[in-house]
Amino acid sequence: MREVIIAKSAGFCFGVKRAVDTVYEQVNNKDDKTKVFTFGPIIHNEEVVNDLASKGVDILEDEDSLDRLSQNKENDVTYKIVIRSHGVGKVVYDKIKEAGFELIDATCPFVKKIHNIVDEESKDGKTVIITGDENHPEVQGIIGWCNNEPIIIDSINKAAECAEKLQGELVLVSQTTFNNRKFKDLVEFFEKKDYNIRVYSTICNATEVRQKDADKLASEVDAMIVIGGKHSSNTQKLYEISKKQCKNTYYIQTLVDLDLTVIESAKRVGITAGASTPNNIIKEVHDSMSELSFEELLKQSEENENKIRTGSVVEGKIIGVKPDEIIVDIQYKSDGIITRNEYSNTPNLDLTTVAKVGDPITVKVIKTNDGEGQVLLSYKRVAAEKAYEKLEESFNNEEVIKGKVTEVREGGLSVTVDECKVFIPASLVSDTFEKNLDKYMDQEIEFVLTEFNPKKRRVIGNRKKIVSAAKAEASKKLFDSIKVGDVVEGVVKNVTPFGAFVDLGGADGLLHISEMSWGRIDDPKSVVKVGETVKAFIKEINGDKIALSLKFDDTNPWLNASEKYAIGNVVTGKIARMTAFGAFVELEQGVDALLHVSQISTEHVEKPEDVFKIGQEITAKIVDFKEADKKISLSIKALNNDSAKDEDADEAVADEAENTEE
């Protein structure tokens, strides 16, 4: 029994089918006063072209034919000119419009995209490089949209020959049916030469997939049949690809060209067909070799197609990955496309970093035809639906959820959880209101759901509840483990004029300004800063309030004060502040002494400011010391009197010595 396998992507591609259907639609709807023409053969298939000719469709081979038709047109006849799927140059469009003919554009959308690229890029003076056959009508049409002279290449050798012309800014496009491997080799050639070039990957996805299908099928069969018009570029490439994998590869246009004797010994036969090959020709070839009729295969295909409808969820396999799209085999006449936006909500995600060829994938059908013959799929919508189920379960069970903040909005945070969006209002972000939420951007946070309405896509999160619960637990743990006198470490959270609040990891402790130093502090910011780690001891615990102190006993300057500041000692200090009755002198941090105004000088002093300035260093004698009250009194006058007595004593001794000598 012989097995005959038809390549999944054999036959009409979207662009060709669209063009052929367009012409047949015009033929079926025309009246006796309407004539339908195609500019060039609508596709490269004689069977189709001959059938259209039998229905009255004429071909305008070139611009001269168009000019002659314009000169000989009949006034009471409507002329409709259908642009072939390969496309034409801009001048043809202009001539059709100038002649007053009705223009019907059946150019393949993929080809039209290339026209737009070269038109825009060449306007800026860039040199356009086209990879392809310069005699192919598609390439001729692309040339017709260039605003300067393009360079046509089909091999690395040809590219090397054109090296001198490749200067300035370059743009590279490709004929849609060009061999994908050759194109990649040429791109690599230009990249190694370090040209200033922008590459547009314009090989038709259907062409690329068709070539991959043919390559794979040819490697698995004993004989390979390639069906297509003799002038079809894409069919010729299918033949070349298949021939490399299977020596018994045969190129035919119709069943008439097939010698069945060459496949008599083949147990497995593969069939592929060019983009311009109608189903009826594939059917004839298939039925001549297979016990399973084409109708049965078609029925199987239709049954599969019924599974591919908008909204359906299907299993597929990744067969191609680009930075901005993923190609998926969904066992359908066309492959599916997942765009970057339909894969993830992550901006500018490079899909090659998250997906690879061969991976299975579950997707949702968004459109069975995106306008270019491809099935538009979504991965993130399937992921989102699964995520919504998980979110609903978490909502019902009041479970804690983790998500990444992907947007900071005016009213709160937008958090992504497995492609689902959860909104956390600003009032529910923390247990204290935070005006600026930017610090949460790109952070993974925990929260619970307080509202869940998937129909309205309204899912509200609450982080405040998590933060409050965590703080309560940490607070309990802290208070259970501390007591008065314990030395603790914390981070300065806030500094006020009266002190600083220190986060102890469960509660805040107040470090009052009076407890920051043994000395006098005017501004707490001169001692501590926000974010700084400080070590303090617990002075008092009153309910949930904790009082801290930096005044450790071993640093108390009054410990040895009775010796250092005994009455009669002479000391040096700085004027710290002044009052009407005297000046306070800082002897060391935490130890101030009073210099009464009456003790400043033997002469009358009205007020301390008349003699001193803040910060001025002075030397005085301790005349009083009261340790219990921590009071020390100074006197410069007493010090001066002592000096005067010493001088008088010195003079008396000198006089006595002088008299003795006499």
Point out the residues that are catalytic: 138
Cα-based distances in Å from 525 to 427, 488, 500: 30, 20, 9
The H or E element spanning position 116 is helix 109-123
* Distance between CA atoms of residues 298 and 61, nearest Å: 36
* Distance between CA atoms of residues 452 and 392, nearest Å: 7
Residues facing 249 on adjacent strands: 224
Strands (E), 67-182: 78-83, 102-105, 127-131, 151-153, 170-174
SS (H, E, C) 246-311: CCCEEEECCHHHCCHHHHCCCCEEEEEECCCCCHHHHHHHHHHHCCCCHHHHHHHHHHHHHHCCCC
Amino acid identity at 148: N
* Distance between CA atoms of residues 246 and 215, nearest Å: 9
For the chain, first and last CA: distance in Å?
Answer: 157
- In sequence order, what are the residues at sequence separation of 6 or more whose Cβ sits closer than 8 angstroms to the Cβ of residue 93? 83, 103
β 570-579/127-131 pair status: unpaired
Which has the closest alpha carbon to 182: 246, 225, 132? 132
Q: By three-state DSSP, how is residue 610 classified?
A: helix
Q: By three-state DSSP, how is residue 567 classified?
A: coil
* Distance between CA atoms of residues 535 and 549, nearest Å: 9
The H or E element spanning position 646 is helix 636-661
CA 12-18-20 angle, 5° bins = 75
* Distance between CA atoms of residues 227 and 9, nearest Å: 13
Is the distance from CB of 331 to CB of 304 less than 8 angstroms? yes
| Edge-to-edge strands, sheet with 249-252 | 3-6, 268-273, 223-227, 249-252
The H or E element spanning position 210 is helix 205-218
* Distance between CA atoms of residues 252 and 299, nearest Å: 25
- Print burial letters for 518-539: b (CB count within 10 Å at least 16), e (below 16): beebeebeebbeeeeebebbbb
